[in-house]
Amino acid sequence: MVPGGRRFLRDNLALTLEVHFLHMSCAGISQPNDGLNGFMGMIGLTWLW
């Protein structure tokens, strides 16, 4: 489940906003395995047909 929203501009066209949590690491291949955590935002248009 992704937090976000959708605002309809027309009956079949919507502006979509989403926020994702992102985690990247080296899977323990090397030490230290600190990893990188952050948030990623997405903005897009959704066309429904």
Residue 26 confidence (pLDDT): 87
From start to end of 1-49, where are the E strands? 4-10, 13-24, 36-47
> How does pLDDT run across 4-45, given as a tens digit for each residue?
999 999 999 999 999 999 999 988 888 888 889 999 999 999
Residue 32 confidence (pLDDT): 85
Distance CA 10, CA 16 (A): 13
Q: What is the pTM of this model?
A: 0.61
pLDDT surpassing 90 at residue 2? no
pLDDT surpassing 80 at residue 1? no
